[in-house]
Amino acid sequence: MVVVESYALAVAMCVVTMLCWGSWANTQKLTSKEWRFELFYWDYALGVMLFSLVLAFTAGSMGTAGRSFLDDLSQAERGWLLSAFIGGVVFNLSNILLVAAIDIAGMAVAFPIGVGLALVLGVITNYLASPVGNPVLLFVGVALVVVAILLSALAYSRLPSQGQRTIGKGIMVSVVAGLLMGFFYRFVAASMSSDFINLEPGKLSPYTALVMFSAGLLASNFLWNTIFMKRPFVGPPVSFGDYFSKGSPRLHLIGMLGGMIWNLGMSLSVIAAGAAGFAISYGLGQGATLVAAFWGVFIWKEFKNAPAGTSGLLALMFAAFVAGLSLIVVARLA
């Protein structure tokens, strides 16, 4: 299987993760006027699963390091397979809530609050389990991200076009999504061998862990997404018949593309963790908040009607995110 040993390359991969995780939701925005997010999400889940299988049978089965995907799967202990699977189940609920928050409140608030909170919790839990990097620099970087989250929420609250009920609902859903998302990565990381070259018996390679994670995401979609189809946050309920009768090939492909983009980011993050450590790899990837906020502010123009002074808050938010992410990178080198 393909293994990354260079920290510089691992950081570069995490930057791509950040771009993928911060950009995939644009596929949902592209379809939102004609396609409900609950229907979009079935294609998204399929895209995640397909990408993990393609990666497992290519990069996960090439080279001399570790074990090939099928060999690794055959020797894996049931408990570690279940751990990665549970990671997919937890992530799926958190991600559906995040997409719902985007629908309610827009990318500029849903990502900084939801994914930003997940960054804080994810870095803490993964560092406690595998302490790699300078803790002072790492957690000061996390603290700056918290400041950026608060600035984002403050900027959003100034929008005159949003009623208080919508603000409250959007922030509430984003917070719940962030709390759940902060813990999914630990289930996946715990299932994997600490050494990617000489894999521990019974534990998983990153490629096998990704397949089990994706299987958990897709399987749990029949529970979580069905619930949200029947009791949506926004709009009337939708049925399974709508997926087949109202979805065009274009809409289905856009949804699957969104899932593939996200899982490209997840895959690079997990593979890079061998050289960077799980806390740093996850923390850098969740810099997606910065990318998503950029899309929301500059491309989707979600703050075009904001009062004077809001642009200053947004500038401070971006500065805090950049400073925080820079400290997270440096933490591994100190």
Burial of 261 (C-beta count, 10 Å sphere; 0-12/13-18/19+): buried
Number of domains observed in the structure of the chain: 1
Site of tokens 């895209």:
47
Q: What is the pLDDT of residue 236?
A: 92
Site of tokens 């990069």:
59
Separation CA 185–CA 285 (nearest Å)? 11
Query: Is the four-CA dihedral 265, 193, 210, 174 of positive or negative sign?
Result: negative
Q: What is the pLDDT of residue 161?
A: 56
Burial of 236 (C-beta count, 10 Å sphere; 0-12/13-18/19+): exposed
> Is residue 65 one of the residues assigned to a domain?
yes
> Is residue 227 one of the residues assigned to a domain?
yes
> Is residue 1 one of the residues assigned to a domain?
no
What backbone torsions phi and psi does residue 277 show, to the nearest 5 degrees? 90, 150
**Which regions of the chain are under pLDDT 50?**
163-165
Q: Per the structure block, which two tokens stand in for 302?
A: 């979600």
> Is residue 152 one of the residues assigned to a domain?
yes
pLDDT tens for 274-287 read 999 999 998 888 77
**Nearest alpha carbon to residue 263 among 8, 61, 21:** 21
> Is residue 2 one of the residues assigned to a domain?
no
Site of tokens 């850098």:
284
Q: What is the pLDDT of residue 39?
A: 94
Q: Per the structure block, which two tokens stand in for 155?
A: 């900027």
> Is residue 202 one of the residues assigned to a domain?
yes
Expressed as residue numbers, the domain containing 217 is: 7-331
Inter-axis angle of helices 37-57 and 78-105, nearest 10: 140
Q: How far is CA 11 from the centre of its chain?
A: 17
> Is residue 163 one of the residues assigned to a domain?
yes
> Is residue 160 one of the residues assigned to a domain?
yes
The answer to whether 267 touches 16, Cβ cutoff 8 Å, is no
